[in-house]
């Protein structure tokens, strides 16, 4: 009985905390809208925001929390604004509050704060320069993953959109240049190149390195490039992208790690087909992770992971949409069943940490023009996409097969 009361009180306290957070978020967004209105008109100044709260239940892994079970750690509150300073220059930014448990760092952050400069605008060519805390425009959903109602699902495919690196993947401090070439016979070709780096907090370092780390992980640089082709008079879009990033680790006091780092290279291919009532999407990646130092001065380890997903969305009515998705990820393409991983760890790390499969079904119900309810259920085998990244935690992830479901209510303006 006492345990039941403790759990009940814990839920009540968590719910009260969420309600207070959401209430403050609503007040913040309302104040932003009122201020924007007072500045006069909406032609040059655009202000938008969102509040999303849900419940997520995970059984069999620490994807959200170490104690598993149902949780209210599914909160997203954000406000974004853009101001057309001149016909060629626009200012834009977004600040958010997130609570996703072990998925990423809890708290506020500035996702982007940039200057957009239109360098060229002709019949066939449009070129824009972005400076500041820029956004990632390279992957299929990288530029929309920060806005809940713009995502196809509550939890994006972890094979590509790994939540543990969410803040690094949203964008970073630097610059980007994007060019579009339009031709009636060829279609549209979009080319984007960027160079940026993110500042990582202690919590983000722990998410990647593990709870025993005492040092600092630094994102040194991140080069990305992409090309997208939308054929003329076609409903298809095809894309290729690449990422090259470097990280260094500085040892802390009484740290289990030593100085070292890692180099990450990724290659993406994606395609999307949009019809009147349904959308087909697919994205695949291959990533090379090269570790050096960290464990011993002469330690090196290079693995090549592979992953991807195929996804379909069907609009039954203007209010109701269905989603079905299948995805996979291999931590090492040469060890898809994780047998070498288990042998190399002396049996301490089970083989199922070498792979992860996820089958997802979901639905989205539009309650009003700016209110929607989204639900999804995941059936998962394997734990290769759980945190921490470098040192797996089998003690709290003893199940090869696990499930999660999530329900989220969203409002935006």
Question: Band of the pLDDT at 5, cuts 50, 70, 90?
Answer: very low
Q: CB 196: neighbour CB atoms within 10 A? A: 23
In the chain, % of residues over pLDDT 70: 90
Question: Band of the pLDDT at 203, cuts 50, 70, 90?
Answer: confident
Residue burial 336-362, b: 16+ Cβ < 10 Å; e: rest:
eebeebbeeeeeebbbbbbbbbbebeb
CA distance 209 to 348: 18
Output the pLDDT for position 391: 81
For the cut 70, the answer to whether the pLDDT of residue 76 exceeds it is: yes
For the cut 70, the answer to whether the pLDDT of residue 4 exceeds it is: no
| CB 209, CB 234: distance < 8 Å | no
Output the pLDDT for position 42: 61
| CB 376, CB 155: distance < 8 Å | yes
Mean pLDDT of 302-316: 97
Mean pLDDT estimate for the chain: 90
CA distance 230 to 191: 12
Residue burial 27-60, b: 16+ Cβ < 10 Å; e: rest:
ebbeebeeebeeeeeeeebebbbbbbbbbbebeb
Mean pLDDT of 108-121: 96
Q: What is the pTM of this model?
A: 0.88
Of the CATH numbers 2.40.160.10, 3.40.1190.20, 1.10.760.10, 3.40.1110.10, which one belongs to the domain with range 44-412?
2.40.160.10
For the cut 50, the answer to whether the pLDDT of residue 174 exceeds it is: yes
Question: Band of the pLDDT at 220, cuts 50, 70, 90?
Answer: very high
CA distance 99 to 372: 20
Mean pLDDT of 242-255: 95
For the segment 334-382, what is each residue's pLDDT rounded down to a tens digit?
A: 999 999 999 999 999 999 999 999 999 999 999 999 999 999 999 999 9
For the segment 7-64, what is each residue's pLDDT rounded down to a tens digit?
A: 444 444 444 445 444 544 454 554 455 454 554 446 799 999 999 999 999 999 999 9
Output the pLDDT for position 9: 44
Question: Band of the pLDDT at 2, cuts 50, 70, 90?
Answer: very low
Among 246, 247, 251, 166, residue whose Cα is nearest residue 212:
251
Where exactly are the structural domains of the chain? 44-412
In the chain, % of residues over pLDDT 90: 81
Mean pLDDT of 160-184: 94
Q: Among 62-71, 222-231, 274-283, 399-408, which stretch is predicted with the lowest mean pLDDT?
A: 62-71
- Tokens matching residue 173: 């401090």
């Amino acid at each position: 009985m006492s345990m039941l009361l403790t759990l009940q009180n814990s839920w009540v306290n968590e719910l009260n905390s969420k309600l207070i957070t959401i209430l403050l978020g609503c007040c913040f967004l309302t104040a932003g809208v009122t201020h924007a209105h007072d500045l006069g008109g909406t032609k040059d100044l655009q202000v938008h925001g969102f509040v999303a709260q849900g419940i997520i239940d995970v059984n069999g892994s620490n994807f959200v929390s170490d104690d598993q079970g149902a949780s209210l750690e599914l909160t997203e509150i954000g406000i974004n604004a853009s101001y057309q300073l001149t016909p060629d220059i626009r200012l834009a930014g977004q600040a958010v509050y997130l609570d996703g448990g072990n998925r990423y760092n809890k708290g506020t952050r500035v996702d982007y704060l940039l200057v957009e400069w239109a360098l060229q605008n002709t019949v066939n060519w449009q070129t824009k320069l972005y400076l500041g805390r820029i956004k990632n425009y390279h992957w299929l959903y990288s530029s929309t993953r920060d806005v809940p109602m713009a995502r196809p699902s509550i939890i994006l495919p972890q094979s590509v959109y790994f939540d543990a690196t969410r803040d690094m993947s949203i964008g970073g401090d630097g610059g980007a240049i994007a060019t579009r070439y339009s031709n009636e016979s060829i279609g549209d070709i979009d080319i984007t190149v960027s160079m940026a780096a993110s500042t990582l907090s202690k919590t983000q370092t722990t998410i990647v390195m593990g709870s025993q780390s005492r040092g600092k992980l630094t994102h040194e640089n991140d080069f990305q490039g992409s090309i997208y082709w939308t054929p003329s008079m076609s409903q298809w879009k095809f894309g290729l992208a690449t990422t090259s990033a470097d990280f260094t680790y500085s040892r802390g006091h009484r740290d289990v790690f030593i100085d070292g780092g890692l180099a990450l290279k990724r290659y993406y291919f994606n395609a999307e087909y949009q019809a009147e009532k349904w959308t087909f999407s697919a994205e695949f990646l291959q990533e090379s992770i090269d570790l050096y130092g960290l464990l011993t001065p002469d330690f090196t380890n290079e693995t090549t992971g592979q992953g991807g997903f195929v996804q379909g969305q069907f609009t039954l009515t203007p209010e109701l949409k269905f989603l079905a998705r299948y995805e996979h990820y291999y931590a090492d393409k040469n060890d898809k069943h994780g047998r070498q991983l288990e042998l190399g760890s002396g049996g301490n790390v089970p083989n199922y940490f070498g792979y992860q499969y996820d089958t997802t079904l979901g639905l989205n119900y539009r309650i009003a023009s700016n209110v929607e309810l989204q639900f999804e259920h995941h059936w998962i085998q394997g734990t290769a996409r759980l945190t921490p990244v470098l040192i797996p935690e089998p003690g709290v992830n003893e199940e090869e097969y696990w499930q999660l479901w999530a329900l989220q209510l969203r409002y935006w303006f």
